Amino acid sequence: MKTTSTTAAFGLAAAMLMAGGAVQAAALVQVSLWDKGASMEMPMGLAYATPGLDLAKATMGIKALPRAVKAGEVTFNVKNDSKDGVHEMIVMYLADPSKPLPYIEAENRVDEDKAGDKGEVSELDPGKSGSLTVELKAGKYLLICNVPGHYGAGMWTEFTVDP
**For the chain, what is the domain count?**
1
* Residue 91: CATH number of its domain: 2.60.40.420
pLDDT digits (tens, 9 = 90+) for 62-73: 999 999 999 999
Quick check: is 93 in a domain? Answer: yes
pLDDT digits (tens, 9 = 90+) for 97-112: 999 999 999 999 999 9
pLDDT at 5 over 50: no
Q: How far apart are CA 18 and CA 25, in angstroms?
A: 18
**pTM (2 d.p.):** 0.83
- Boundaries of domain holding 39: 24-162
C-alpha 145 chain-centroid distance: 10
Average pLDDT on 14-29 reads: 61
Give the model's pLDDT for residue 41: 85
Quick check: is 12 in a domain? Answer: no
Reported for 64-67, long-range contacts at CB under 8 A and 24+ positions apart, including other chains, are: 64/29, 64/30, 64/31, 64/32, 64/143, 64/157, 64/159, 65/29, 65/30, 66/29, 67/157, 67/158, 67/159, 67/160
Average pLDDT on 48-76 reads: 94
